[in-house]
Structure 1
Amino acid sequence: MLTVDYDLLDLRPGMTLLDLGCGEGRHSFEAYRRGARVVALDWGVDEVRTTQRWLTAIGEAGEAPAGAAATSIRGDLLHLPVPDASVDRIIAAEVLEHIPDDAAAMAEIARVLKPGGRVAVSVPRWLPERICWALSDQYHANEGGHIRIYRGDDLRDRLSAVGLEPGPTHHAHSLHAPFWWLKCATGVERDNAAVRAYHRLLVWDLTTRPWLTRTAEKVLDPLIGKSFVVYADKPAVADAPAARRWSAGSGSLDRERAAAR
């Protein structure tokens, strides 16, 4: 289940992509298959291990093109283990709402992104998230849970404050919003028939991608899409100084001098 539109991200083969808060790797897998040099980063040990296992399987199955590379590492979004201006593209999907100092995390994104690079940031959309919070404290008031609700303009302003230039936006996963409203209304941890039935619908949609649900989601996304996605660019700098380039395949660093054109 992808939240990010890779065409809007403009991810091309050979680019280095940093997937922040990768979870179990859903966005990293697609980027790897598209020929990127992927670094999947998460704080969770189990998440990093699971992502690495699947990335290895994708490579061994020949699903990634020649020149692609992928690795997963454990890291803190507030102190990214990545050199300045070293990655072409970044994905931060459904992660900033968990971080108390989100401004510091956004500053780190801006720091490691190359001039002319692009980041895709997704967060829970204000209205669907507000309904979940109203229905259930258990949904968000727990360790590692959501600590804030973003409005679209607020997120764009925060990205601008660290020197990024917000561009296109869209919404995603409208079929998931009623699922979470149902869970919150009936008890987040409770197992009940209605939630199980809706979950089966979502799994069926994910595995078969039928035209009916695809059309319904496309129509409903602008109205109740659960995720809000914004794409932002780091301004290109003319006559940039020497920049260090990070190799995702080996983790090594080398130096590349930007030639003035």
Structure 2
Amino acid sequence: MTAVRLEEVLKKDPETISTDFSHIQHMYTGHFSDYYYNRFDRSLDIADLHPANQALIIGGGTGVFALSLAKYVDDVHFTDIPREEPMFSTARTLFDYSTVDGSGVKYTAADATNLPYDSDSFDVVFALDVLEHIPDERAAISELKRVTASNGQAIVSSPIEVGPAVGIREAYRFIDGRRCKTKSLTELGLSIIGKSPLERNDHHRGYDFRQTIKWLSEEFNGTSTEYCPYPALKWLNPTVIIKSK
């Protein structure tokens, strides 16, 4: 499956869209956009979606991934914490300006650690680059498992910020100039040697995806990992995609 690219579906230049999120111009229209879209492609392939699936996006943000999900699934639920006024205005604007039908997307403001859905509600739950931003990641993973159907699956992407990948990340953020850089040299050094602190999440600094995999494995019967966008590079990849079912 191929994720929707903004330039393919928008009726106007995506760089002209006014938004409280910097992500649209920063991630989905610039030189690095292929990297971000490739992760969406991979997530869709891993999920093996069907139109009848009930799907949930936790931390939907700008709504760019929702455009892709609405293309393949009829029932899409979109949740995030309130970050703009009116709520979800960026995501709704993207659908309004696009050729993708967003009438089946249902928006709900909610914290990932307290989702307003019944247990076993969704065939597939996506949390893409979200868990690393949640202070109580463990609680969020428990909620993710609770709302996933017994025969469903969760697709999680998170950064690799240990070993060689953390150096690549820091170089990218230095060049980009707009991304949060590691504030502690001690933390950076520990991450480079593969000993970054576990069971702690200080807003995406020194994040260790291995803890995420451990907690997902405790909740789900089976958890597997795939590295992307270049699986052959393994630890040199800046992101991992995790599938739990």
Q: 1:57 to 1:156 in 2, by over 3 A?
A: same
Q: 1:222 to 1:37 in 2, by over 3 A?
A: same
For residues 47 and 71 of structure 2, what CA distance do their matches in structure 1 show?
Answer: 15
Deviation at 1:229? Answer: 0.7
Amino acid at match of 1:157: K
Selected match of 2:105 from 38, 61, 70: 70
- 1:8 paired residue number: 46
Q: 1:96 to 1:120 in 2, by over 3 A?
A: same
Q: 1:226 to 1:44 in 2, by over 3 A?
A: farther
The residue correspondences of 1:133-172 to structure 2 (distance < 5 A) are: 138-140=180-182, 145-152=203-210, 154-172=211-229
Can you list the C-alpha shifts for 1:152-173, whole angstroms capped at 9, x where unaligned? 4x3221101123420242223x
For residues 223 and 164 of structure 2, what CA distance do their matches in structure 1 show?
Answer: 22
For residues 156 and 41 of structure 1, what CA distance do their matches in structure 2 show?
Answer: 23
Q: Is residue 89–residue 118 contact of structure 1 (8 Å, CA) maintained in 2? A: yes
Q: Which protein has greater RCO, CA pairs closer than 8 Å, 6+ apart?
A: 1
- 1:122 paired residue number: 157
Asked if 1:222 corresponds to 2:234, the answer is: yes
Q: 1:138 to 1:157 in 2, by over 3 A?
A: closer
- 2:32 paired residue number: none
The 3-state SS of whatever aligns with 2:60 is: coil
Can you list the C-alpha shifts for 1:28-65, whole angstroms capped at 9, x where unaligned? 1101011331111111332722112323444xx3x349
Selected match of 2:121 from 83, 86, 104: 86
Q: Is residue 17–residue 89 contact of structure 1 (8 Å, CA) maintained in 2? A: yes
- 2:82 paired residue number: 44
The 3-state SS of whatever aligns with 2:88 is: helix
Gapped regions of structure 1 (runs ≥ 5): 173-217, 234-261
Amino acid at match of 1:146: H
- 1:109 paired residue number: 144
For residues 93 and 141 of structure 2, what CA distance do their matches in structure 1 show?
Answer: 29
Deviation at 1:118? Answer: 0.8
**Number of matched pairs:** 181
For residues 9 and 219 of structure 1, what CA distance do their matches in structure 2 show?
Answer: 17
Rg comparison, structure with higher value: 1
The 3-state SS of whatever aligns with 2:140 is: helix
Q: 1:112 to 1:148 in 2, by over 3 A?
A: farther
Q: Is residue 159–residue 209 contact of structure 2 (8 Å, CA) maintained in 1? A: no
The 3-state SS of whatever aligns with 2:166 is: helix
Q: Is residue 14–residue 37 contact of structure 1 (8 Å, CA) maintained in 2? A: yes
For residues 84 and 140 of structure 1, what CA distance do their matches in structure 2 show?
Answer: 37
For residues 53 and 9 of structure 1, what CA distance do their matches in structure 2 show?
Answer: 26
Q: 1:36 to 1:169 in 2, by over 3 A?
A: farther
Q: 1:148 to 1:107 in 2, by over 3 A?
A: farther
Gapped regions of structure 2 (runs ≥ 5): 1-35, 184-201
For residues 93 and 65 of structure 2, what CA distance do their matches in structure 1 show?
Answer: 15
* TM-score normalised by structure 2 residue count: 0.64
Can you list the C-alpha shifts for 1:168-193, whole angstroms capped at 9, x where unaligned? 42223xxxxxxxxxxxxxxxxxxxxx
- 1:253 paired residue number: none
- 2:72 paired residue number: 34
For residues 163 and 129 of structure 1, what CA distance do their matches in structure 2 show?
Answer: 27
For residues 134 and 106 of structure 2, what CA distance do their matches in structure 1 show?
Answer: 24
For residues 166 and 219 of structure 1, what CA distance do their matches in structure 2 show?
Answer: 17
- 1:53 paired residue number: 93
Q: Is residue 128–residue 226 contact of structure 1 (8 Å, CA) maintained in 2? A: no
Percent identity reads 21
